[in-house]
Chains A and B, each alone.
Chain A
Amino acid sequence: MELDANAFARNSRKALSDKALQEALGRTTGRFMLHRAAAVAAFPGFEEARERASAIKMDVLAHLDAYLGRFVEEAEKRGVVVHVARNAAQAREIAARIARDEGVTLAVKSKSMAAEEISFNEALEGAGVTVVESDLGEFIIQLAGEAPSHIIAPAVHKTREEVSLLFERHLGEPRTDSIPELVGMARRHLRAKFLSAGMGVSGANFLVADTGSLVLVTNEGNGRMGAVLPRVHLAVVGIEKVIPRMADLPTFLRLLPRSASGQAISSYVSIVTGTKRAGDPEGPERMHILLLDCGRSAILEGKYREILKCIRCGACLNACPVYQSVGGHAYGWVYSGPIGAVLTPLLVGLPGAAPLPDASTLCGACAEVCPVKIPLPDFLLELRSDARDQGLKTPGEIAGMKGYAGVMKRAGLLEAIERIAGVLGQFFTKGKAIGGMPYPFSGWTERRDFPVPAAQPFRKQWKIRRGVTR
């Protein structure tokens, strides 16, 4: 996916004035939050599962070479071909080569953020392969030629009217305002694709090291179809998705659906281990797993390691009041919301996504809901500090901060400035609030007043009242 994260300010303004998007965001995030809260309240073991999942992931990250090595070994024993890509360009090359070597012309894909990272569809289309998105939301936005706007609900910004128009134009279906009918149309169309495609493409929610298994969690059932029906199965997966043991899987399955959609479990969990075996009536004859580094090993090495615990549930997006206000596209890349504000700069480099860490009030709602306890606000703060170190802050901000810190060095100087501001402020506003401030504070007062400084600051008043002479 093309990177446009540096345009966050412009994109977010556009989003704020998009009425349909605002309506969709309000509806979606609110509902997700309510469902999540209800699911968590109904499951007393949630906190314990969070602690446990976090600890398991920390162990994995501390020994990722060992766990990933075990996974590769076990998967290969069962007929899987494992590929490794250092960066997106390499990954695209490998994916295209796999499709060509397997003689594939049609691929059916289920949702994969990792595949989005490497612009997978373009790579395969370049190799002459038609890629059809099978997740309903992804299918809709593929028809619309757009990018997903939410990890879990990629088409939250589309209304049923827009969907019906797309189905009319691209599938030749009659117009309808019935959502079940629209779902039925997509089902028929995509079923034909599943039955004829040479390759199923998926991501993976988890890789299980001790069995070499790949775990797919969906509600629609598209992931498992792509893993059972086509002759070839290709999974594009980030290296951090590994968990040590099959026995650890239930802990994560208790957290992921509850955090994502508020379900105790998703409709379908498929644990896929290797290729079709002797006597199996179905299953892929060939299975490829494409492991992506794409910046992850560098993250593993540094202070942001814990971000690799993420299980892509989307709970932090739904909880984030900034995401709720501007939606996913404003973040300008694959990942949005708090996870995007941290992960994007780490994967693509801070200069390519400099505004994202600032896109948060540090309210902490994200950390509160994160099922694997990633300290997202701490990481946002850390990235803001990195931005200063990497020379990415404006000279104006640095000068302002230096001036402000200079004033704060001496209480006497601060008091003098406060008193001058107090006198001037009271004189010019007659004690009323300030309705317009100069740049860079002009935005503040666009729809809000700013208070006038007190005629005398507290410290002066205190000295007078308590007879402090100094």
Chain B
Amino acid sequence: MPYTTGMDPERSVPVSLFFTCLADAFSPGVCHAAVEVLERFGATVRVPLSQTCCGQPAFNSGNRKEARAMARKFLGSFPDDGYIVTPSGSCAAMVKHGYPVLFRDEPRTLARAREVGERIHELSQFLVDVLGVTDPGSDFSGRVTYHDSCHLRRGLGVVEAPRKLLRAIPGVEFVEMEESDRCCGFGGVFSVKHPQISCRMTERKVERILATGAGTVTSGDLGCLLSIQGMISRYGYPVKAIHLAEILAGKPKGN
């Protein structure tokens, strides 16, 4: 299958995969899918196995001491050069925007955090903006709608890349949902502290998804999909939440 990329196929691009703790534990298929897509476009993928969690839940809940410990661990887990790619807008935004806050009083770690932040990319953004991919070469098929995760869209400013990739898949009929950029209600710790409000927001999101008639809803963040799929599964709605990486890879995986 001929793939379209702006990169020189002779030159390999070194990429470290930041697979995220959530996908590690709950959706290994997302991580495999990310590797598959990256390798498809000539990336040499390394998976640093000492990585754990970027510390976002601790940071977002105001527990900065713990967040700093995890952030330090994260910064030490990745090599000093090459791209870092992650199938999560939220985790990428944490490293890019959260770490400089955590280390604002530690100039040396701050410099390291900024440097790592420069190299970190969310998957779809990396494919489109860095590798110049125009056709992801996926055999996924069906009607698909896309939920903008807040941290991918407003945190990283990535709006078009996932849409471009989805539209380029021949078997995919891409449909926009209403309010695609409205928060799904997950919000990490928020969904535990305020589950009722969180559910109300997820409910509105699921209504918008169902209104499209799509069989698949996708997003660049597993957290959102956790909440969305959780409600879909509870009520047996005729739609499935699948991570963008898996759609790009082309074969939906169950785990």
Contacts and interface: CB of A to CB of B under 8 A. Distances in A.
Q: Are A and B in direct contact (Cβ within 8 Å)?
A: yes
Interface of A: 9, 12-13, 16, 321-322, 325-326, 357-365, 367-368, 378, 381, 383-388, 393, 397-398, 401-402, 404-405, 407-411, 414, 418, 421-422, 433, 435, 440-459, 461-463, 466, 468, 470
Interface stretch (B128-136, B165-173, B227-235): B227-235
A362 B187 contact: yes
B195 interface: yes
Interface string B216-229: 00000000001101
B66 A451 contact: no
A440 B183 CA distance: 23
A381 B155 contact: no
A309 to B, nearest CB: 20
Contacts of A381: 59-60, 62, 101
A93 to B, nearest CB: 37
Nearest to A26: B204
B19 A458 contact: yes
Nearest to A452: B26
B155 A364 contact: yes
A446 B50 CA distance: 35
Interface residues of B, number: 68
B49 A321 contact: no
Nearest to A358: B193
Given A16-B197, A325-B201, A462-B49, A453 B66 contact: no
B61 A397 contact: yes
A415 B255 CA distance: 17
A321 B185 contact: yes
Contacts of B155: 364
B62 A384 contact: yes
Interface string B170-186: 00000000000111011
Contacts of A388: 62-65
Contacts of B26: 451-454
Contact of A321 (B70, B201, B230): B201
Given A444-B192, A447-B234, A462-B31, 9 more contacts: A360-B187, A361-B183, A363-B150, A383-B62, A384-B62, A407-B52, A408-B52, A457-B24, A470-B49
Contact of B73 (A365, A386, A409, A466): A409
Contact of A458 (B28, B53, B198): B28
Interface string B112-154: 0000000000000000000000000000000000000011001
Nearest to B51: A411
B196 A12 contact: yes
Nearest to B30: A458
Nearest to B225: A451
Contacts of B63: 385, 388, 393, 397-398, 401, 405
Contacts of A407: 52
Contacts of B234: 433, 435, 447-449
Enumerate the 9 nearest inter-chain pairs by beta-carbon distance, A residue then B residue, closest first. Answer: A384-B62, A443-B195, A361-B187, A448-B230, A405-B66, A363-B183, A458-B28, A364-B154, A363-B150
Contacts of A422: 25
Nearest to A359: B194
Given A448-B202, A454-B26, A462-B47, A402 B183 contact: no
A315 B53 CA distance: 35
Contact of B52 (A12, A383, A414, A452): A414
B185 A361 contact: yes
A410 B5 CA distance: 38
Contact of A453 (B25, B50, B182, B188): B25
21 contacts: A16-B196, A321-B204, A322-B201, A325-B197, A358-B190, A360-B187, A361-B185, A365-B154, A381-B59, A385-B63, A393-B62, A407-B52, A418-B24, A433-B233, A440-B192, A444-B195, A448-B199, A451-B226, A454-B26, A458-B24, A470-B49
